[in-house]
Structure 1
Amino acid sequence: MADGRGGGTLRITGAHVHFDGFRALDGVDLAVGDGEMVVLLGPSGCGKTTLLRAASGLQPLNAGQIELDGRDLTGQRPDQRGIGLMFQDEVLFPHFDVEGNVAFGLRMARVPFAERRRRVVEVLELVGLSGFQSRDVATLSGGEAQRVSLARALAPEPRVLLLDEPFGSLDRLLRERLINELRPVLDQVGVTAVHVTHDHHEAFALADRIAVMASGRILRIGTPEEVWTDPRTAQVARFLGHTNVFDSEVPPELASATGRSDSFVLRADRIEVVVDDGAGADFTGAAMAQLPATVARRRFRGDRYELRLEADIGGVATTLDAITPHGPAVGADVKLLIGPSAVLALDD
């Protein structure tokens, strides 16, 4: 940054937003450290975007407080907060060229012309668009337009940058490319960031910490590794992408084999799949559980196989997923070896 300010510390306390009796935010507490990126992860309608709008000043709170570096922002206008916002759709001004779009916030802040031009050059270089100042925005590709949007959000040097699913409208390959490019840019600037997505892969790629939201509340917050290995509830586990979630009526043999009678997750990537050749191989001690199963579906994903497995456990038909480096054929009889690292406990 030109003045070396870097990011700020954002704190949201007891945030409530109600729409005609509907609780879009229901007592949300969130603290984001200086230079940290927190990703809000959850389904549509869970309150992610409402939380961003409240932090930016676009949505008034019914109750609660928003602070930046200890300064109360709750009643301040958006332009007084030092917070930038980047939307899913690039929303570029068609009557401005790239330079005009990037400089818009600086003009509104009455930054002198020479400083505006210097800053535009600086941020366009930062996002990989050097020399694009005179380009008509109608000629930009989707990825270039999003980079211009990012440059425009960064140009006024916000202390905090809020990103509302900025890659949601892009195709998969372009989205993955921009996800890989975004974090180094934000790290170089040093800005604090809150990023919204419904895609858990995107969240894991970007976040220092992930906050999983549902029904206007934060259900779980922690580092990507913490929330993945300790989701705590079946709802969080399923949204993170776990598929082998046993939260009720656990088959007795499976519960006995894993040492749990209550809710748990079997990590698909930690289940070892061994082809049952009928030779009576002995795997005693190799795992906590040895479960016979049949391959019902096999999908090749380049570096792995995703298997859907069917098992009859204690007279209960049970479906399990496994991720393996090899792929037994559909219909093959296999044995599932489930060790301690595959079992994640859930709260009752």
Structure 2
Amino acid sequence: MATTGTGGGTLRITGAHVRFDTTLALDGVDLAVGDGEMVVLLGPSGCGKTTLLRAAAGLQPLDAGRIELDGRDLTGQRPDQRGIGLMFQDEVLFPHFDVEGNVAFGLRMAKVPVAERRRRVAEVLELVGLSGFEGRDVATLSGGEAQRVSLARALAPEPRVLLLDEPFGSLDRLLRERLIDELRPVLDQVGVTAVHVTHDHHEAFALADRIAVMAWGQLLRIGTPDEVWTDPQTSQVARFLGHTNVFDAEVPPVLASAAGRDHGFVLRADRIEVGAADDPGTATGDDRVVQLRAAVARRRFRGDRYELRLEADVGGATTRLDAITPAGPAVGTSVTLRIGPSAAIPLDG
């Protein structure tokens, strides 16, 4: 595989504010992305992810704040002067150009000589696994091939930073998983710094060096995938990351005993032990480990595990709990749950 690119740069966004009429799209966002790092912006639609990306690219002016690349102020510069590439969800290939013409577009705008353009196009097409596709009509490309061409076009001008705005959002799950697996090795080989936007937490965990969770135009939590999963800090972040057993109000004493606090915690679904209804379990010597009766209300098979929705008898009231187990008792089955301190993640608010 060809080696291409000049390496990444350090992107720093400080105090970014953007307002659309009465809507505050960005509310004082601070974000630093290290040289060669991939940060994934994760959050629901309308939280400000794409606005932040467009501001970094120079497509959206800031009302206040500063954007720097390797210490150089980009805030007032045109998009083509920034050294930043952008890849969209829809590949937006030019139908009147073949693959080579699409990939070379940015190079032509920069007035790169023809021989150098052809060399660069061949290099990046090899990088994305499309060597020999130069003459293909873009209308004949599959969805995955079109996205690879779009990536090659974004990489051809050798940007220091690449911004990816939900590039796999319109693809089916199987193709998305394949391209997620392919994307990171390509960007690592180039060495480009990357900021990737998605609302899919599985995609974020698969790609990110660090995940930045956004809501309401603000950054709520940033850290490595392991850090944000095991310490989401708030119920909003916990729910968006995919935790389901989130208790941010007062809870029955039996669950409070297991968690070591009466509110503000998550019970990890993969650490709730599910056994047969008549299974006494294994004694641990820890009186904080609680045992509950429950019924299986829903079962989903996920290939290597089962995701169970359980209705547990907690202090005479029914409480919904989710568990992830290697075995999946049928819907309606009575089971015993064992929950101890290792399942609990404390929340700040």
The TM tier, using the shorter chain, reads over 0.9
The whole-number CA distance in structure 2 between the counterparts of 1:26 and 1:70 is 22
1:55-70 correspondence runs (5 A) = 55-70=56-71
- CA apart distance, 1:196: 0.1
Q: Which residue does the alignment assign to 2:290?
A: 289
1:188-337 correspondence runs (5 A) = 188-277=189-278, 280=280, 283-285=283-285, 288-337=289-338
- CA apart distance, 1:5: 2.4
The whole-number CA distance in structure 1 between the counterparts of 2:174 and 2:213 is 25
Gaps in structure 1 of 5+ consecutive residues: none
Deviations 1:64-120 (A, max 9, x none): 000000000000000000000000000000000000000000000011111000000
Q: Which residue does the alignment assign to 2:20?
A: 19
Is the Cα contact below 8 Å between 2:4 and 2:190 reproduced in 1? no
1:83 aligns with 2:88: no
Is the Cα contact below 8 Å between 2:58 and 2:77 reproduced in 1? yes
Off by >4 Å, runs of 4+ in structure 1: 1-4, 279-282
Worse-matched range after superposition: 170-179 or 300-309: 300-309
CA RMSD of aligned residues (A): 1.4
Identity within the alignment, %: 84
Q: Secondary structure at the match of 2:176?
A: helix
Give the direction of change, closer, same or farther, for the CA distance of 1:225–1:280 in structure 2 (3 Å limit): closer
- CA apart distance, 1:2: 7.2
Letter in 2 for 1:285: G
Gaps in structure 2 of 5+ consecutive residues: none
Give the direction of change, closer, same or farther, for the CA distance of 1:83–1:63 in structure 2 (3 Å limit): same
Q: Secondary structure at the match of 1:58?
A: coil
Q: Which residue does the alignment assign to 1:30?
A: 31
Letter in 2 for 1:26: D
- CA apart distance, 1:331: 2.0
The whole-number CA distance in structure 1 between the counterparts of 2:54 and 2:281 is 59
- CA apart distance, 1:333: 1.9
1:123 aligns with 2:151: no
TM-score, structure 1 normalization: 0.97
The whole-number CA distance in structure 1 between the counterparts of 2:280 and 2:95 is 71
Is the Cα contact below 8 Å between 1:258 and 1:288 reproduced in 2? no
Deviations 1:232-268 (A, max 9, x none): 0000000000000001131222112322112100000
Is the Cα contact below 8 Å between 1:250 and 1:263 reproduced in 2? no
Is the Cα contact below 8 Å between 2:297 and 2:309 reproduced in 1? yes
Q: How many residues align?
A: 347
The whole-number CA distance in structure 2 between the counterparts of 1:199 and 1:298 is 22
- CA apart distance, 1:47: 0.1
Give the direction of change, closer, same or farther, for the CA distance of 1:3–1:319 in structure 2 (3 Å limit): closer
The whole-number CA distance in structure 2 between the counterparts of 1:299 and 1:326 is 11
Letter in 1 for 2:67: I
Give the direction of change, closer, same or farther, for the CA distance of 1:145–1:4 in structure 2 (3 Å limit): closer
Letter in 1 for 2:139: A
Worse-matched range after superposition: 4-13 or 282-291: 282-291
Is the Cα contact below 8 Å between 1:309 and 1:319 reproduced in 2? yes
Give the direction of change, closer, same or farther, for the CA distance of 1:23–1:176 in structure 2 (3 Å limit): same
- CA apart distance, 1:315: 2.6
The whole-number CA distance in structure 1 between the counterparts of 2:342 and 2:149 is 44
TM-score, structure 2 normalization: 0.97
The whole-number CA distance in structure 2 between the counterparts of 1:188 and 1:49 is 26
The whole-number CA distance in structure 2 between the counterparts of 1:154 and 1:341 is 45
The whole-number CA distance in structure 2 between the counterparts of 1:121 and 1:34 is 26
Q: Secondary structure at the match of 1:302?
A: coil
Is the Cα contact below 8 Å between 2:3 and 2:189 reproduced in 1? no
Is the Cα contact below 8 Å between 1:65 and 1:74 reproduced in 2? yes
